[in-house]
Chains A and B, each alone.
Chain A
C-alpha cells in the first residue's frame, strides 16, 4: 500500500482479503469468490474510500498474486478472471453512481413542479386579483359621479389604498414568479430584479454579460433564484455600496457571479451554521445540484464577497 497516493488507502485487512479472493478465483473460478469480491466493494464504498480505493486495492492484489500464479495459469485466462473479480468489486460503486443519477432526476422534477406551482400562483395574483381590482376601480369611478365633492374626496382616499394594494400584488406576483423571466429571459429579469432591490435598498447594483440566446428554462430559473437570494443576503448582512452581477456564456456552460464590496464573512462558519444565511447557501446549492452545477463562495472578513455559480449545459 505504500505506493498508493494518500486518501486512497483501504484498511489492510480488506487488502489481504481481496488478495485472497483474487487468488482463489483465478485458480478456481467460483461464485463464492465473486460474492466476496462484491462484499469487499460494498464495504469499501461504505468506508468512503471511493472507486480509486478499489482500483488501488486491485492493483496491489494483482502485484501480490501474479508472480506465483503466472507459472500455472495461462496469461489471457488469468487477466480475464482477474477482471471478473474486479468488476464484482466495482458493482456497488456502479449501483451507487446510477442511483445518484436517479436522485438528481427526482430533484430536478421536484424543482420544476415547484416552479410550475409558483407560476400558477403568480398568474392568479397578477391576472385574477389584478382584474378584480381594475373592476373595483371602474365601479368606484361610476359611484364618484353621484357623489358630492366631499364624498369624491373621501373616495379618492379609498382609491389610493387600492392603488397601493395593486402595487403590492404586482410586487408579490413578481417575486413569486417574474413573468419577465419567461417572456424575455435571464438578463432582462436580472436587470428588473436589480433595479427593484437597488431602489429599495440604495445599494448600486449592476448587471452585465450575456447568455447568447435563451438558456433552458430550468437553468434560467435556478440562476435567477440564486441571484435573488444572493442579493437578499448582501442587502441584509454585507453593508455594501456596490454589487456586480456578471453572466458569462461559455461553450458548454454558463457562469454567473455576484460580487459585493461589503464587510465580508467567514465562509466556513456561515455555511456550517444552520443560520438563515447558511440555509440560504444550502438552498442555492440544492438548486444547482439538480443541474450538476457548482457553487463557489469566496470571502474574507473586511474585503467583500464573491459568489460564483457554474452550470454545465447539455448538448
Chain B
C-alpha cells in the first residue's frame, strides 16, 4: 500500500502532553486527506486510548501516523509501539468485557469498533505494537477543524 509522501508523523509518548500532541497530529493529518470532523474525532479518540495504554502500562513509547492510498481511497494508519510488559490474555482483551485500559469495554474493543482494522503484536514482557487503520468514508473532502490560534 503506497504511503503518501510527506503525510506522516512520529511522536514520543511519555506523558499527558504527548497524548494531546498526538491527538492534534493525527487529527491534522486526517483533516489534510479529507476525513470529516466526525471521523477526525473518532481518530482522536483512538489515539487517546492507544497513547493512554502506552503511558499507563509501558511508561513510554512512540506513535507513528501515515496517510495511505489504495485503489483511489485514502486512509490513515496509526501505529503505537512500546517496550512495556505486553498484553497478557490478548484474546480476552479483545473479546470479553475485559479491557486493558479499564472500564466498560473501552480500550482495545472500543478502538476496534471505531477503526476498519486493528492488528496487535504483543510479546509478553517485551513489547507491544498496535496497528490501526481507518479509511475515509466515500464522502467528498470535508474541511478540517478550525483550530484558530491554538496550534
Contact = CB atoms under 8 A, between A and B. Distances in A.
Interface stretch (A2-10, A92-100, A148-156, A169-177): A92-100
A42 interface: yes
Interface string B109-120: 111111000000
Given A34-B23, A91-B42, A103 B150 contact: no
Nearest to B147: A29
A149 B104 CA distance: 75
A98 B114 contact: yes
Specify the main secondary structure of chain B where it touches its partner.
helix
The interface centre, meaning the residue of B21, B49, B113, B147 with most chain A CB atoms within 10 A of its CB, is B113
A46 B104 contact: yes
Contacts of A99: 105-106, 109-110, 112-113
Contacts of B138: none
A29 B104 contact: no
A157 B113 CA distance: 64
A190 B95 CA distance: 34
Interface string B82-109: 0000000000000101000001111001
A98 B20 contact: no
B149 interface: yes
Contacts of B103: 42, 45-46
B148 A95 contact: no
B148 A28 contact: yes
A29 B145 contact: yes
B147 A45 contact: no
B48 interface: yes
Contacts, number: 89
A31 B48 CA distance: 12
A52 interface: no
Contacts of B105: 95-96, 99-100, 103
A102 B27 contact: no
The interface centre, meaning the residue of B19, B45, B103, B148 with most chain A CB atoms within 10 A of its CB, is B45
B12 to A, nearest CB: 17
B41 interface: yes
A96 B97 CA distance: 11
B114 A92 contact: no
B37 A87 contact: yes
B50 interface: no
A101 interface: yes
Interface string B24-48: 1001000000000110011011001
Interface of B: 19-21, 23-24, 27, 37-38, 41-42, 44-45, 48-49, 95, 97, 103-106, 109-114, 145-150
Interface of A: 28-32, 34-35, 38, 42, 45-46, 77, 80-81, 84, 87-88, 91-92, 94-96, 98-103, 106
